[in-house]
Chain A
């Protein structure tokens, strides 16, 4: 059974940093593109970043202005999102999502989400 479990969410002050992790199991992690998708409170879904199977290639939402970095550890079946210079508008539930086989889009499995709250 495919499972994606996020961790690392929490309350952080504006300008602060946070690192999210996603533990994957039930499939060959190294064979899939992986993404982070966020959902602000009461709002819709927004793709944030994705990363190729081997980790050599990552893409980001333009408006992030280089503040976020996606990475992966295929040995430990884990996906990460390092977030810096956090702003109030980054407050959201962040989902880890697996893409369709041999594709970066769309997503067939999602984690339960990690809530990131940016507030003083």
Chain B
């Protein structure tokens, strides 16, 4: 059981905007950066968003991140079939003194 919580699933149709939430506490999200990873089926995780809102080079601007208090969100606009993947939030936990991942959200493009 992770200390940061994500919904297990999300879905949307092509072209839609979907958001995935990540909820934690003051000891993790509330006081630290949040990062997001995309994991396509059978592949390694790929960094999608770092330090709450920043995109590595090569990541489309359809992907955006935000953070407010002890929660964070990943938004995907103009949803495409190739966005179907598992998405994980990640942050540092000051109480555990380790990096922690959310449980992951499986995004289905209908």
Contact = CB atoms under 8 A, between A and B. Distances in A.
Interface stretch (A12-20, A22-30, A79-87, A110-118): A110-118
Contact of A108 (B44, B47, B99, B104): B47
Given A44-B102, A47-B101, A61-B98, A107 B47 contact: yes
Contacts of B35: 106
Prevailing SS type, chain B contact patch: strand
Contacts, number: 44
For chain A, the bracket of interface size reads: 10 to 19
A46 interface: yes
Contacts of A45: 37, 45, 88, 90, 101, 104
Contacts of A108: 47, 50, 56
Given A95-B45, A106-B35, A106-B50, A44 B98 contact: no
Interface of A: 44-47, 59, 61, 95, 100, 104-113
